[in-house]
Structure 1
């Protein structure tokens, strides 16, 4: 598939065929492409928690959702045969920028204009989303509720220095993959969002 087609076809898929697992070689390509993302100072302070078995996925959904009957969104999302949780490690960046070629020996987080550890994990996630499209799969990036992060850590033994920045669900699109009502807003045109030379 041409790259322009991959970008044009990329969308968040919210329903999956539960009977079609993601082939192992495709899963590995998703991860291999993720680690090709740029990272500040080549810190590479990311990690990826891969959840494939029904037990692993159930543990994730139990850790991240409340009790009671799941709504339609959750019911459809739970069908995804593959979940990948990208995690960011801020300390890897603070340590990297304290090295001689960077020289910020105080490790002061205030030096960072934005949290690049999260930005870089987000870029890795986008490469997974694009790879899924290229492989004929659907994928969706969604957040982990802040009050559920501790439960995710406990459920999977995530070290304290790693923080989930979200989750990428991956699989073959299901029959009930309805479009988000948010799309009715339409995509903002280039002329509205691009400012050339000045605002």
Structure 2
């Protein structure tokens, strides 16, 4: 299947327009067919040994969201004490989740035992199944953006909070809790860049050819 110029442009536009959404969510339900398209796109992510280790838990219940929000508030307070001075003040003023504002939450998990203990491609690098599940998150994120739906990844929450709220077995790894919904608008610049937390690193500084840029002399 050949990709046309118009289709290629749409892919790049979606990649560069993707944002981590925290506060622009609006109260507009996501149609079932749109949600299904997004989840099927996530399900078509690459996976080591084609093991497809992911599952997706869709969360709509306000009480469940509230439990996860309380977990975020606890972890957020803990994290605040890890910063000092101006950095601490800036951290406290950042909006870092939209758990209750977003119409949906989607938890992405990884079942590391799905196809047995020996998995093609995971024999030398056992964490490849976790990386595969992260690829599913990226597929979901880009598909949502193509539908003009925002996604925010909530990482400031302990796994046991999500595990208890969603009744996830201990044998299943929690990869991501995502806030998903339509938004008022998408920001042109990532929040953390916009508010001066960190600048965007120039791409050329991350691209190297043939070897690490400053190899250790042995």
Q: Helix, strand or coil for the counterpart of 2:55?
A: strand
Q: CA deviation at 1:8?
A: 1.1
Q: CA deviation at 1:51?
A: 0.3
Retained in 2: the 8 A contact 1:125–1:141? no
Retained in 2: the 8 A contact 1:15–1:176? no
Residues 1:135 and 2:135 aligned together: no
The more displaced of 6-15 and 183-192 is 183-192
Retained in 2: the 8 A contact 1:93–1:117? no
Separation of aligned partners in 2, 1:43 and 1:94: 9
Using the size of structure 1 for normalisation, the TM-score is: 0.78
Q: Which residue of 2 aligns with 1:79?
A: 101
Q: Which residue of 2 aligns with 1:151?
A: 161
What residue ranges of structure 1 are gaps of 5+ in the alignment? none
Structural mapping, 1:65-104, within 5 Å: 65-66=73-74, 73=95, 76-92=98-114, 94-97=116-119, 102=120
Separation of aligned partners in 2, 1:5 and 1:28: 22
Q: CA deviation at 1:179?
A: 4.8
Equivalenced residues, count: 187
Compute the RMSD of aligned alpha carbons: 3.1
What residue ranges of structure 2 are gaps of 5+ in the alignment? 1-6, 78-91, 213-218
Q: Which residue of 2 aligns with 1:47?
A: 55
Retained in 2: the 8 A contact 1:64–1:152? no
Using the size of structure 2 for normalisation, the TM-score is: 0.72
Q: CA deviation at 1:163?
A: 1.6
Q: Which residue of 1 aligns with 2:129?
A: 117
